[in-house]
Structure 1
Amino acid sequence: MKFRLSIIVALATLAILLSACNFTMAADVTPPPNYVPPTPAAALGPLFPAQAPGTENGALIFAEKCAPCHGATGLGDGEQGIQLGVPVPALGLPEVARSASPAQWYTVVTRGNMERFMPPFASLSDQERWDVVAYAMALHASEEDLAKGRELFEAECANCSTDLFTDQSKMSELSEVELARIIKEGNDQVPAFGATLSEDDIWAVTAYLRTLSFDTASIVSALATATPEAVTVTETLPPTEAGTPSAEGTPIGTQ
């Protein structure tokens, strides 16, 4: 009995020693030449920017980091993107951009979506990620859209407070679809003022209102060099009897 117990103890001790050796050997394995460790995802900070995003800086980042896949104007036709074997989201199309919130796109830029070959951009600072998201969000709107939206807003809602539309924490959560609903129905900060506006008018106003949370000094110059071609938009505005607006949208990596 004692002999059998001694054998069991010896085998257990040997197993522990072997496992320790295996662990040490695995840790000491030399990686192959030219090995590049996977890029870790950046830490996900607050889902709103610390300061107004700059679209001019965002345009520079987009051209370097995003255009190879998403295309120069965000139409999903980048040279690298068409070789991926999966559809690349056309961020510059209204029906894609209007249904997403800045916070959703910021999350994808930060964490990536490797199932769709979208890497996390840990090399960008938190503010740079917000800058490029702001630029991508503005791609579907032309200078004419923004000018028209501003004119309509000032005419139809001259006494409205713009506090909501400059609040980074709130605007980062709102898609343009939800902004359109606010225009039609109002909320506790903004009265309804879209009753006499056409759908095109309301979309122009939502595009303008989005820019109020950006660094507006750079928005026009950034868009002047990269405006997508006109496309036919088939979406319709949410009905006025709809319930609480949904926070869901179309993240960059899920189209």
Structure 2
Amino acid sequence: MLFSLCCLALGLGLAGSVAHAQQPSPTYDPTQVTVPTNAPIALFGQASYQQNCAPCHGAEGMGNGPTAAELPGPPTAFADPDAIWALSPSELFHTTKFGRLENLMPPWGNQLSDDEIWQTVAYAWSLHTTRSETESGAELYAATCAVCHGDSGAGDGPEAPPDLVDFTDLDYAINNSQADWSEGWQSAHPELGAEWSAGQQQSVLEYIRTFSYVPPWENAYQPGSGVISGTVVQGTAGGAAVTGLTA
């Protein structure tokens, strides 16, 4: 089951939510999902998650929020890797934007922009993994996978075959779950990492996922061009004017 309603965050009464639940939400349609223009930054979605999602899903994603008992079924525990394993980010975005009224979850697209939804989904996603897990996965990836898939996951390693998948391609990444990637791995080259434990294999997949979102323990401000806006006020009472400023 995907996201469930956080009634209090919406300011809706339970009775009103039940009435809305009579109108089913649209089923998952990937064509209704907006591909993010940049990798979603989980840290930017933390406040939205705590305000809008934690009342049901819990502050740490354990599915034990204060309003969870009012729902027709248990809300998704995002801290449980098994709950996330078969879900793609695209599915989580669709559920968040369009709701699941049959589960008493409203369409958050009425209140959040697509970028805000992606950031919130990224934060919820991050709750099932840890910095140490992804760092362990990074070491295994560098030793075994980077020679083909590249240091940044773009499929541009020195031994990359033609048309190798690009893990940084957001249109591709958001439409694949961890289960999809695991299946693809075992289908393409099961000999790689065959000696690893299930936990080690999972850590590699969690690291690969960071090529398409920025987890909350990473610097939210990435290198590159940007825009700084604000107001410059010259001088203070009794002070000399600042010279040489240009707009």
For the pair 1:155 / 2:154, whether they are aligned, the reply is: no
Alignment of 1:57-206 (within 5 A): 57-121=44-108, 122-161=110-149, 162-163=153-154, 164-186=166-188, 193-206=192-205
User: Gaps spanning 5+ residues in structure 2: where?
Assistant: 1-15, 155-165, 221-247
Q: Find the aligned partners of 1:84 and 1:46 in 2 and give their Cα distance.
A: 26
Contact 2:56 2:65 in 1 (8 A): yes
The Cα shift of 1:165 comes to: 1.3
Between Structure 1 and Structure 2, the one with more helix by share is 1
User: Gaps spanning 5+ residues in structure 1: where?
Assistant: 1-34, 223-255
From the superposition, tell whether residues 155 and 63 of structure 1 become closer, same or farther in structure 2 (CA, over 3 Å): same
Q: Find the aligned partners of 1:197 and 1:206 in 2 and give their Cα distance.
A: 13
TM-score, with length taken from structure 2: 0.66
Aligned partner of 1:184: which letter? Answer: Q
Q: Find the aligned partners of 2:171 and 2:59 in 1 and give their Cα distance.
A: 29
Q: Secondary structure at the match of 1:160?
A: helix
Contact 1:72 1:78 in 2 (8 A): yes
Aligned partner of 1:62: which letter? Answer: Y
The Cα shift of 1:192 comes to: 6.3
Deviations 1:2-34 (A, max 9, x none): xxxxxxxxxxxxxxxxxxxxxxxxxxxxxxxxx
Matched-pair identity in %? 32
Q: Find the aligned partners of 2:191 and 2:35 in 1 and give their Cα distance.
A: 26
Aligned partner of 2:204: which letter? Answer: V
Higher relative contact order (CA 8 A, sep 6+): 1
The Cα shift of 1:98 comes to: 1.1
**Residue of structure 1 in register with 2:223 after alignment:** none
| Number of residue pairs matched by the alignment | 184
Aligned partner of 1:63: which letter? Answer: Q
The Cα shift of 1:91 comes to: 1.8
The Cα shift of 1:219 comes to: 4.2
Contact 1:149 1:205 in 2 (8 A): yes
